[in-house]
Amino acid sequence: MAHLQGKSVPTRFGIVVFPGFQALDAFGPLDALNSLAYYFPLDLSIIAATMDPVSTRPPNAPPQGNFSESIVPTHTFETAPPLDVLIVPGGRGTKDINVVQGVIDFVAKVYPSLKYLITVCTGSGIAARAGVLDGRRATTNKKAWAETTALRTEVKWVAHARWVVDGNIWTSSGVSAGLDVIFAFMEDVFGKEAADNVANGLEYERHTDSTWDPYAKIYNLKDSDA
């Protein structure tokens, strides 16, 4: 923990990755935090099933071409250090239970020791299956709405939301919404000046209204308890 104006702030960040994770789900929030790390002494652990590089290419990728990137883990689910904040991206890999069962188990195991859990896109489907969203309000990717919300009916799924905060869990809508949720989190926890400085450095025009969501309209979605 570091201190900001007498308040302690989280410094130990982690992200889980798995084959078929969505690159921007991960690297939107991570790059905002890369910049924040120039103001605060932050550490990042990149956590996966094994120490082998993890590809954005899902097991069920189309046979045509090969357009993907691989990231290098720093820890496994067994060796991950204590964390203040865990980020869970989504992506096509979440559709394969064999790919994400280990991630689900890891989220269930470490959630009680976290200060914050942040999910992006269908990453909320992982958190939901870990049981940590039961009874909470949460959102997810809008194109994958039906299949993701069906994973756990105990969750109060909110359709019209760029992101949702319930307790210490921040869930965002699809892919690029990860940028908006991380900046909202950054403003709340590290202060508006830090969030504005980082957003201007990334030349990113934030959506600051958590209910902004043209994508829910595209797919004509309704809240799960509506």
Nearest alpha carbon to residue 119 among 152, 85, 145: 85
Which contacts of 212-220 are long-range, i.e. CB under 8 A and separated by 24 or more positions?
Answer: 212/162, 213/142, 213/159, 213/160, 213/161, 213/162, 213/173, 215/142, 215/143, 215/173, 215/174, 216/142, 216/159, 216/160, 216/161, 216/173, 217/160, 218/142, 219/142, 219/143, 219/145
Name the one range near a second copy by CB under 8 A: 97-105, 123-131, 173-181, 187-195: 173-181
Ranges within 68-87 binding a second copy (CB under 8 A) = 68-72
Give the binding-site size for a second copy (rule: CB under 8 A): 53
173: contact with a second copy by CB under 8 A: yes
Our CB check for a second copy shows the closer of 46 and 104 to be 46
Would you say 26 or 194 has its CB closer to a second copy? 26
The nearer residue to a second copy, 61 or 108, going by C-beta atoms, is 61
| 174 touches a second copy by CB under 8 A | yes
Do 98 and 132 meet the contact criterion of CB atoms below 8 Å apart? no
Q: Please report, as ranges, the residues that interact with a second copy according to CB under 8 A.
A: 11, 13, 22-24, 26-28, 30-34, 36-38, 40-44, 46, 53, 56, 62, 64-72, 141-143, 173-177, 179, 200-205, 207, 214-215, 218
